[in-house]
Chains A and B, each alone.
Chain A
Amino acid sequence: MVTRKSVPEIALEGVGKRFRDGAVALDGISLNVERGEFVTFLGPSGCGKSTLLKLVSGLSPASVGTVEVNGITPKNAREMMSFIFQDATLLPWRTVEENVGLEMELEHAAREVRQERVAKMLEVVGLGHVANRYPRQLSGGMKMRASIARALVTRPRILLMDEPFAALDEMTRDRMNEELLRLYGEQKWTVLFVTHSVAEAVFLSTRIVILAAHPGRVAHEMEVELPWPRTAETRETPAFDAQVAQASRLLRGVYQA
């Protein structure tokens, strides 16, 4: 019998994923993520980064191996997880407020509780003034903020983020990264994050996992040696550059292979 303390937040053991057409997306992935870690997956297209998040969220079953979240199956652990998609995925017929409150609405949470928590969360992400707007009236950055507010309003322990800022311009992306880390510092989730940007991965993560493609497998792991809290100034330090250089080097090896 294992004690409660030894159960990792997310545990993958010999996980493989084969699609119906026979393509092997992931092969032999074993990975433990401890509570409070910010783990980013980097790798070429086709390395199964997104598939990995789908497995952890239970949206897609593993073909072989086991995936456990807090010691239970992903499907049963959904309540403690929030998924943030590459595009904001806001329902266009709902206002920002109604989008953010959707999950609580589906769970039949009391209206007053819902409205209060939604309003508070919109303030946190700086969208209080557009609560009653529809998604198409928002800029890309604002949509993503709304999407993040929606993910956070149910107070998840685990965030799964699939290239959430890929569609944003660089300045907006940097600012969103800083805000994400500020919230991470306050709320201490465990995060699995997928990106193509090495700088983003270094800035955000406690650990970077570099995947190789065909089939998708873990090629390297790298602890990010940067002090907390990280701010915009962190990007201007030599230590940051050194970490980016190191991650890039590892990634280059994967692309050449």
Chain B
Amino acid sequence: MRRNGLLVMNSVIVLACLLGLWQAVISLNHIKPYILPGPLAVARAVHDRFPSLMSSLMITTEEAAGGLAASIVVGVAVALIFAQFQWVRKLVYPYTILLQTVPILAIAPLIINWIGAGILAVTMVTFIICLAPIIANTTQGLVSVDENFVHLFLMYKATPAQVLLKLRLPNALPNLFTGVRISAGISVIGALTGELFAGSPQVGRGGLGYAITYANNQMETAYMFALVFAATMLGFGFFFIVMFLEWLALHNWHESKRPQTAE
């Protein structure tokens, strides 16, 4: 515990030094705030524009979380089908790799074309880029069960449903979380990318990506920094939540979560 405390304190000191240095360079060289704002200017922008910053953050959170949640539901469902029906997997699995290689920048305008600009379109873009890692990792976990476990369940005359629920699904849990961790990170990118193309037609009602474009056009560089910072924090928050859920689900039994304690 003491070690951790010390580590946190040191990190805070490093951060303070960096911010101080940044501010000093700006102030001493009289750099214009629309070229590069100092930390104080960014802080002021956060303070002054707090309601609109928060509103943008909420919209992006909604889109990223919505897309991610949908990708988990659909991804796990697809993986379950892949695990149960090998012929479906052989037939369709290659296309999920294609899904992974679709450049999101290219497909975002298409989707907006189809369903119109707005939160739904952005959620859709997020969903698409989040889907492949969930499918790939969960399928991997569902099908890579130790043969002896399968034999054990055969000896027990387990039904296919029991094999799925009591063997394959728990076996896939670590893989599922790996997929969710990857997708959580890219969900924010997906939402921002979507918003760059189609945040919202109404001023002040768009997410972070839209606000970044808008602030850029208005040369509000300090506010742009604030928005970038908010987007970073959002990604970090997602990652942290997923890590926490993963720890909750796996720390009791999974090898990666705690050193072995044989006696």
Which A residues are within 8 Å of any B CB, using their own CB? 57, 59, 78-79, 81-83, 85, 87, 89, 91-94, 102-103, 106-107, 134-140
Contact = CB atoms under 8 A, between A and B. Distances in A.
B5 to A, nearest CB: 29
B155 A106 contact: no
The 8 closest A-B pairs by CB, nearest first: A134-B253, A139-B262, A89-B148, A93-B170, A103-B156, A93-B253, A85-B148, A92-B253
17 contacts: A78-B155, A81-B155, A82-B155, A83-B151, A83-B155, A85-B152, A89-B148, A89-B152, A91-B167, A91-B170, A92-B253, A102-B156, A102-B166, A103-B156, A106-B153, A137-B262, A140-B262
B170 A78 contact: no
A190 to B, nearest CB: 16
Contacts of A57: 151, 155
B155 A92 contact: no
Contacts of A135: 253
Nearest to B146: A89
Interface string B158-171: 10001000110010
Contacts of B262: 137-140
A82 B170 CA distance: 23
Given A81-B155, A137-B262, 8 more contacts: A57-B155, A59-B155, A85-B152, A91-B149, A91-B167, A106-B162, A136-B255, A139-B263
Nearest to A143: B262
The residue in B153, B154, B167, B253 that gathers the most chain A C-beta atoms within 10 A of its C-beta is B253
Interface in B153-200: 153-158, 162, 166-167, 170, 173
Interface string B26-50: 0000000000000000000000000
B217 interface: no
Contacts of B260: 136-137
A45 B148 CA distance: 19
Contact residues of B: prevailing secondary structure? helix
Interface residues of B, number: 24
A91 B162 CA distance: 14
Contact of B149 (A89, A107, A140): A89
Contacts of A92: 253-255
Nearest to B149: A89
Contact of B156 (A89, A106, A136): A106
B166 to A, nearest CB: 7
Nearest to A86: B148
A253 B255 CA distance: 45
A106 B149 CA distance: 14
Contacts of B154: 59
Nearest to A141: B262
Contacts of A103: 156
Contacts of B157: 78-79, 106
A171 to B, nearest CB: 16
B202 interface: no
Contact of A106 (B146, B166, B253, B263): B166
B261 interface: yes
Contacts of A136: 253, 255, 260
B252 interface: yes
Given A57-B155, A83-B155, A92-B254, A137 B261 contact: yes
A65 B170 CA distance: 39
Contacts of B151: 57, 59, 83, 85
Nearest to A154: B156
Contacts of B263: 139
Interface in B234-254: 252-254
B30 to A, nearest CB: 61
A92 B252 CA distance: 9
Contacts of B167: 91
B178 to A, nearest CB: 16
B253 A83 contact: no
A137 B173 CA distance: 20
Contacts of A106: 153, 156-158, 162, 166
Contacts of A137: 260-262
A41 B62 CA distance: 64
B171 to A, nearest CB: 8
A134 B146 CA distance: 18
B247 to A, nearest CB: 14
The residue in A59, A136, A139 that gathers the most chain B C-beta atoms within 10 A of its C-beta is A136
Contacts of B254: 92-93
Contacts of A85: 148, 151-152
A112 B162 CA distance: 21
B158 A134 contact: no
Contacts of B156: 102-103, 106-107
B131 to A, nearest CB: 26
